[in-house]
Amino acid sequence: MSIPEHIVFVTGRLARARLEKTLAGLPADRFRWSIADAGVKVAALMTEEIIRRRVEIPEGATRIVLPGRCRANPEALANHFGLPVERGPDEIVDLPAWLGLAGRKLDLSRQDIKIFSEIVDASKMTVAEILAKGRDLARRGADVIDLGGLPDTPFPHLEEAVAALKGAGLTVSVDSFSIDELTRGARAGADYLLSLNEETLDLAFETDAVPVLVPMRPDDLPSLDRAIARMRDAGRPFLADPILEPIHHGLVDSIARYRDTRARWPDIEMMMGTGNLTELTEADSLGVTALLVGMCSELAIRSVLIVQVSNHTRRTIEEHDAARRVMYAAREDAALPKGYGRALLGLHDKRPYVQSPEEVAQAAAEVRDPNFRIAVAADGIHVYNRDIHRVGTDAMAFFPELDVASDGAHAFYLGAELAKAETAWRLGKRYVQDEPLDWGASADAEVEDATAFKKAGHTRHSGPDAPPPGTRDARLTRPEADAAPPETLSEPEVRAEAPAEPPPKSKKIVCGRLVPSDES
């Protein structure tokens, strides 16, 4: 039997009780742990110097975990302590999943679906515009830049456009109903041709470009089969696309055709064009995309053609990129696509609240300064400092009790934060004071240097242990000003007072399979 690893969790005074409670529920056969309380109030404000001076690592420790928002440099601390140092999750409630207790470690670095992203109006754009657009699509996650031709619209600069994209190191496909444009694109060096049917298939034997095969009509699968058989007999590469159709225009039958094609041809490369559903359904595209990419994952369809014309699909590349990574990881784990991060959760979060109302109340009771804290729990928005603790669901209703009518900057800051908190509470999203809401793949996340504190802002900061009025620079807070003596607690010392280990999670039947209940 292997010896469980011994993890040291570094924390501050305010988070220690919640950390103890969470760690006490970890399986003893997998983890030994200690808590290193540096004595400072807010763990996020600990610096490398504070941790080096105030934290003692017990003998036998195998690795050290810092709070997710701690700005210390893990590499520098690893050199100092001689042990691996990692930054854990932002929220304590996420620690069990972060430690792999959901049965897996989160790894979204791999995927096996190629994204073709179409420039639908390429024939109307200049070569410079096409090149700029292609680079942007590639930056966002596209693997192939698809030049879309338009019926009855000349594309005299097609060859030049293909050459410009290829010169930039991009993979190119040409998408047209015109056999002349497809021929010109192939001769110019295009890597793929969309799309050929059994009547235009001769072109596939005149070029090295890989054709995407389609049926003569969406419901004419025999014509697709004949084209597939001809390419297979010739030993030529190709992709087959049975054509996805929109809702009320044959969607269900078209999905069945993908399944039937895979059943008849189990080892061919296939493509699905998802735009007929994402573009032609006025619904948030993230969920639609997740479902379609899940189908691709099941059917081993390793290429998708996407378009972004409608405003509601403006993030379609990022959404497909996120979905292909989640579905790949879940398939490799033989698991449901649950517990693989929040990228596919745009509007709601599975665990929106990081503290219970009782835990927020306990934190509020310990506050000794006038700076406002804002938290969201199941019962609503909590606003508190040393003088008040109010709970509500209407951001504007708090204003009369906050006594900031004469402080415009402070009122502006609190109004913005409370409005964000109300949005989070109403949608069931996570709220973190001074941080943007996480919209998953639906919006770009702010890229931050995880080893540096935030720079000074424009208004008074009212968050936990706020800097002096007029600045948001955490370096000015002197986190050791009220520091208590550091303390390192071992697992047995904490476990005696911690809640008992929770009972095994229940399971339920979903679609004929026994899976963990939604509490997992």
Q: Which residue has the tokens 């306990």?
A: 362
Tell me the average pLDDT across 42-66.
89
CB 403 within 8 A of CB 397: no
Cα–Cα distance for residue pair 448/108, rounded to 1 Å: 20
Q: CB-based contacts of 76: which residues, under 8 Å, 6+ apart? A: 48
The model's confidence at residue 463, banded by pLDDT at 50, 70 and 90, is very low
Which amino acid type is present at position 193? Answer: L
Q: Strands, DSSP E only, in 46-170?
A: 63-66, 85-87, 114-119, 144-148
Per-residue pLDDT at 164: 97
Between 248 and 458, residue with greater pLDDT: 248
**3-state secondary structure string, 164-232?**
HHHHCCCEEEEECCCHHHHHHHHHCCCCEEEEECCCCHHHHHCCCCEEEECCCCCCCHHHHHHHHHHHH
Per-residue pLDDT at 271: 98
Cα–Cα distance for residue pair 40/57, rounded to 1 Å: 17
The model's confidence at residue 104, banded by pLDDT at 50, 70 and 90, is low
Q: What is the separation of C-alpha 313 from the centre of its chain, rounded to a whole number of angstroms?
A: 17
Instruction: Phi first, then psi: give them for residue 146, nearest 5 degrees.
Output: -100, 120
Per-residue pLDDT at 338: 87
CA dihedral 276, 281, 285, 289 (to 10 degrees): -40
> Rg of the chain over CA atoms, in angstroms?
28
Per-residue pLDDT at 482: 65
Which amino acid type is present at position 77? Answer: L
The model's confidence at residue 481, banded by pLDDT at 50, 70 and 90, is low
Per-residue pLDDT at 26: 85
pLDDT of residue 476 exceeding 60: no
At 11 the three-state DSSP class reads strand
CB 10 within 8 A of CB 3: no
pTM score > 0.75 for this model?
Answer: yes
pLDDT of residue 508 exceeding 70: no
Q: What is the mean pLDDT of the chain?
A: 87
* β-bridge mates for residue 211, sequence order: 193
Per-residue pLDDT at 497: 54
CA angle 419, 424, 428 (to 5 degrees): 155
Best mean pLDDT range from 118-122, 297-301, 461-465: 297-301
What's the Cα-to-Cα distance from 93 to each of 19, 22, 55, 359, 426, rounded to whole Å?
9, 7, 23, 12, 21
The model's confidence at residue 430, banded by pLDDT at 50, 70 and 90, is very high
Cα–Cα distance for residue pair 212/441, rounded to 1 Å: 28
CB 418 within 8 A of CB 393: no
Instruction: Phi first, then psi: give them for residue 468, nearest 5 degrees.
Output: -60, 155
Cα–Cα distance for residue pair 291/444, rounded to 1 Å: 21
Which amino acid type is present at position 383? Answer: V
pLDDT of residue 100 exceeding 90: no
**Total residues found in the chain within this entry:** 520
Tell which phi-psi region holds residue 490, choosing left (phi > 0), alpha (psi between -120 and 50) or beta: beta
Give percent helix, percent strand, percent coil of the chain, each to the nearest 5: 35, 15, 45
Q: Which residue has the tokens 């300064």?
A: 369
Tell me the two tokens of residue 455. 């720079």
Cα–Cα distance for residue pair 134/130, rounded to 1 Å: 6
Q: Is beta strand 380-384 parallel, antiparallel or unpaired with respect to 389-392?
A: antiparallel
Q: CB-based contacts of 434: which residues, under 8 Å, 6+ apart? A: 417, 454, 461, 463, 472
Per-residue pLDDT at 469: 39
> How many C-beta neighbours within 10 Å does residue 457 have?
15
Between 445 and 354, residue with greater pLDDT: 354
CB 465 within 8 A of CB 41: yes
The pLDDT tens digits for 317-336 are 999 999 999 999 999 988 88
The model's confidence at residue 129, banded by pLDDT at 50, 70 and 90, is very high
Per-residue pLDDT at 106: 76
pLDDT of residue 206 exceeding 90: yes
Per-residue pLDDT at 470: 35
pLDDT of residue 446 exceeding 90: no
pLDDT of residue 512 exceeding 50: no
What's the Cα-to-Cα distance from 322 to each of 77, 115, 274, 343, 345, rounded to whole Å?
32, 11, 15, 6, 11
